[in-house]
Amino acid sequence: YYILNKPTGVTSTVSDTHAKKTVLDIVQIGERVYPVGRLDQNSKGLMLLTNDGDLANLLTHPRYHVPKVYQVLYLGKIQKDKIGRMQKGIELEEGKTKESKIKIITQEENKTLLEITLFEGRKRQIRRMAEKLHLHILSLKRVAIGPIQLGSLESGKFRKLTAAEISELKTAASV
């Protein structure tokens, strides 16, 4: 069980012939592990890697409602009605997204930093919600999955999860 602070430009797959670099190029260890969930190349932040398939399924399946927290920097000042629409769910091609929790961290005339908590993990969900609302994302960073926080782990670095963190993660995923 590992935590990685994925930098932008890195693909969150085991292998990809079109990718310059994958998460496994960074996390080079003696055992085979797999990324839990995905972050697109332009996104950065917390990724978990493990060879525990049961836990990976519990963490990624929407039925288990494991929260994933992101810090998203948008261009401009976002109107409250758009924040409300994101919270209530946005209609995407495959259906409406589940409700999310949104907290304004900072808001200025030329940029807005939001903390967005998702309880499902659709492909490029935050970016697709932004497109529907005509919002421009400047940066997107995942900072937590369930009880596991990115904290001060530097970009491009990884570490093993502690026994306590693994236990907390399993508890959060099995509720």
Q: Do residues 126 and 137 make contact, with C-beta atoms less than 8 angstroms apart?
A: yes
Question: What are the distances in angstroms from CA 51 to CA 10, 61, 155, 160?
Answer: 20, 17, 22, 13
Q: Do residues 48 and 28 make contact, with C-beta atoms less than 8 angstroms apart?
A: no
| Residues with catalytic roles | 40
Antiparallel, parallel or unpaired: β 44-50 and 137-145: parallel
Q: Provide DSSP, 52-119.
A: -HHHHHHHH-GGG---EEEEEEEESPPPHHHHHHHHH--EETTEEPPP-EEEEEEE-SSEEEEEEEES
User: Any idea of the CA torsion for 37, 42, 161, 153, to the nearest 10 degrees?
Assistant: -160
